[in-house]
Chains A and B, each alone.
Chain A
Amino acid sequence: MTRSWLVFIRIQATIVVVMLLAIVLVTLANIILRTWGPGSITWADEFARVTFVMFSFLAAAMACGFGSHLVVDGVVDKAQGLLRRILAGFQALVAGTFFIAIIWIGWFQTFANLEQATPAINFPVAVMYGVVTFSGVLMLVNSIFASTIGPVSVHDGRIQVGEPDVDLEEIA
């Protein structure tokens, strides 16, 4: 089960890192070509933004697997026994409702935008909303994996289950 969890999250990590590199390279190329080359890449800005929208939601979904989303845990840390279990159940219920709401609303938004496309690269807006919807599914699945097997973290350049070698809070 742990192995499947790691494979699943590593696939997600590969996709979001490739998206991130694509955004970086296209934006950098645009600046270089504008300054020293023949001129701007007309589609660069739109490509970067569209990719960034999909990247943001997929990366947010991946962050569920890392247990990294910000939380104010002062009160919860002090709770003990039954109260702590009730709070944990309540948190899971709210999170689950939130994920299902994203999937539900995203599903309708996807179909409502089937005819729409972005102006420069002609990218279907429905695909963008489809990715947001899919990220809701990933948030749900990653959260279930993280709460049953354990959240993942980066150790020596590899994703593993357990404590990180650099705490994300340190770079936040």
Chain B
Amino acid sequence: MTGPLLLLAFLILVIAGVRIAYAMGITAIAALLLLDIPTSAFLTRSVASVNTFSLLAIPFFVIAGDLLTAGGISRRIIRLAESFFGWMRGGLGVVNVGSSVLFAGVSGSAAADTAAVGGVLIPEMKRAGYRPGFAVAVTAASSTIGPIIPPSLLMIIYGGITGVSIGSLFLAGIIPGLFLGITLMLMAWWIGRKQAPAVTSLSMRNIWIATRQGILGLVIPVIIIGGILFGFFTATEAGVIVLAYSFIVAKLIYRDLTNREFVAVMIRSAVLSGVLMLIVAMAASFAWVLAYANTPQAMVDVLTSLSDDPTIVMLLVVMLLLLVGMFVETIAAMIITVPVLFPLGEAMGYNPLHFALVVMMTLLIGTVTPPLGVLLYVAAGIGKVPVGKAIKESIPFVVVMIATVLVVALIPAVATWLPSLQQ
């Protein structure tokens, strides 16, 4: 009974507007006191969870992504996507998704993608004649590819909580991320083709120029994937190499990064890393207390009492996460649900990488659905479009995203094949 009470207390605190990290910490401490366990366990667990080499990847990839954005990578990536897809009728929607796929290999977050790509393409799509709501919806939906294709802050945190290899998670995300990109591109083209003409003609010269300008950013996913796949370095080491590379590109090659902007990047990265690490630290104690109170086992019992068929249980998990993702921000939702669901995945015999991808992709759908569609709100804010219009236009994209999640959920090889090649 302690477990459900703990979860209830935590949820009440979160709904009352208490910061998520504080709510997890205070609930864990209260539980330790109630269960008569020394409170020193709280700090020991929290410090031990941060004292992990793999989590160093968080600040490394945050700095790298922010350095490249400050160094002007986003406009080069958009120009590259435009040269490839801008010649089609309704091509700017496809350009938007294509830019997000390329940007996903540079940045580890969805909101960064929305801001960088949406800031340029939403106004451009509006000017070209696309419905403003459509421009916002396609930007928000395609930004969810960011945390699926490596690097991904979401995957680093997932790995930090569960102990699943972050390098393998990175590899597992590539095919599902590209698959989602293709399905969203098709939907964007299908809807957009009736709205606006092509913005440019197909020209090998344009493609060559844009590729030459954007190629330095595109090397990053190659460094990460190649390095991990061929065993040259770990995901964390890939982070520091990408960081050094990003600094050289932004500062010495693009020459768009000023010293002031570099200082700003470092401060912002430190703050964001602090925010994420406090959550990871508190989640470790919270998850430990939940495990002590047998909560994950109770959850396994409840779900397996409904069905012992792994496919049905997987679909139930997807439905549960869709619901949670609609009301809770993605990182928070993952931190709340994963300590409970991960043991379920183990009990049902799911491949940990496959299960991780299903969890993350499902929760990300919540970023484009009301009432808490964070990316939809960010994109609507950028495009100065009423959120209601964007919500209506986002429905086909949400359907595509759910279908993609179901494909990944039902065909594990989509996520597990690439990591199986790891040396």
**Does A137 belong to the interface (CB within 8 Å)?**
no
B109→A59 contact, CB < 8 A: no
Number of A-B contacts (CB under 8 A): 221
Contact of A87 with B278 in the complex, beta carbons under 8 Å: no
Query: Contacting chain A: which of B207-215, B236-244, B288-296?
Result: B236-244
Q: Are A156 and B272 in contact (CB under 8 A)?
A: no
CA distance A72 to B86 in the complex (A): 39
**Is there an interface contact between A94 and B273, defined as CB atoms closer than 8 Å?**
no
Known contacts being A20-B59, A23-B59, A87-B16, is A58 close to B331, with CB within 8 Å? no
Kindly state whether residue B40 has any CB partner on chain A within 8 Å: yes
Closest 6 CB pairs of A and B: A59-B274, A157-B260, A76-B17, A56-B277, A60-B278, A60-B274
Interface centre among A21, A24, A112, A168 (most CB of B within 10 A): A24
Q: CB of B173 within 8 A of chain A?
A: no
Interface flag for A33 (CB, 8 Å): no
Chain A positions within 8 Å of B, measured between CB atoms, are: 13, 16-17, 20-21, 23-24, 27-28, 31, 45, 48-50, 52-53, 55-63, 66, 68-76, 87-88, 90-91, 94-95, 97-98, 101-102, 105-106, 108-109, 112, 128-129, 132, 154, 156-159, 165-172
Taken together as a complex, chains A and B put the C-alpha atoms of A132 and B243 apart, in Å, by: 27
Residue of B nearest to A133 (CB): B43
What is the interface of chain B, defined by CB distance below 8 A to chain A?
13-23, 25-26, 29, 39-40, 42-44, 47, 50-53, 55-56, 59-60, 62-63, 65-66, 69, 107, 109, 111-112, 114-115, 153, 233, 236-237, 240-241, 243-244, 258-264, 266-279, 281, 327-329, 331-332, 371-372, 374, 378
Report the minimal beta-carbon distance from B312 to chain A, rounded to whole angstroms: 30
A112 to B43, CA, bound (A): 12
A27 and B234 alpha carbons, distance in the complex (Å): 12
The interface residues of chain A lying within 8 Å CB-to-CB of B39 are 101, 105
Q: How far is the CB of B147 from chain A (nearest CB, A)?
A: 11
13 contacts between A and B (CB under 8 A): A13-B270, A27-B56, A27-B236, A55-B273, A60-B281, A68-B271, A68-B274, A70-B21, A73-B17, A91-B19, A159-B267, A171-B109, A171-B111
A154 close to B25 (CB less than 8 A): no
CB distance from A28 to the nearest CB of B (A): 5
Q: Which chain A residues border B65 with CB–CB below 8 Å?
A: 171
List B contacts of A158 (CB < 8 A).
260, 263
Complex-state Cα separation, A91 to B261, whole angstroms: 34
Bound CA–CA A6/B14 (angstroms): 30
CA distance A74 to B62 in the complex (A): 27
Alpha-carbon distance between A45 and B279 when the two chains are bound, in angstroms: 23
Q: Give the Cβ gap from A83 to chain B, nearest Cβ, in Å.
A: 10
Residue of chain A at shortest CB distance from B236:
A27
**B243: chain A residues within 8 A (beta carbon):** 24, 28
Chain B residues with Cβ below 8 Å from A170 are 111-112, 114-115, 378
| Given known A-B contacts A61-B274, A63-B271, A63-B275, A94 and B22 have beta carbons under 8 A apart | yes
* Cα(A57)–Cα(B282), bound, Å: 11
Write out the residue numbers on chain B whose beta carbons fall within 8 Å of the beta carbon of A52: 50-51, 55-56
Query: CB < 8 Å: which of B16, B114, B261, B271 contacts A157?
Result: B261
Contacts of B20 in A (CB 8 A): 69-72
Known: A28-B240, A70-B19. A101 touches B29 (CB 8 A): yes
Pick the contact of A63: B114, B274, B281 (CB < 8 A).
B274
Quick one: closest A residue to B112, CB to CB? A171
**Across the interface, do A70 and B112 meet the contact criterion of CB distance under 8 Å?**
no
Bound: A17/B208 CA distance, A: 39
Question: Chain B residues near A53 (CB, 8 Å)?
Answer: 47, 50-51
Checking A24, A28, A70, A88 against B275 with a beta-carbon cut-off of 8 angstroms, the contacting residue is: A70
Question: Would you call A169 and B274 a contact (CB within 8 A)?
Answer: no
Output the nearest chain A residue to B13 by Cβ-Cβ distance.
A94
Residues of B within 8 A of A59 (CB): 270-271, 273-274, 277
Contacts A70-B332, A72-B329, A74-B372; A49 near B53 (Cβ below 8 A): yes
B278 near A94: Cβ-Cβ < 8 Å? no
Shortest distance from the beta carbon of A105 to any chain B beta carbon, whole Å: 5
- Cross-chain contact B17 with A105 (CB below 8 angstroms): no
Given contacts A59-B271, A60-B278, A109-B40, contact A95 B19 (CB under 8 A): yes
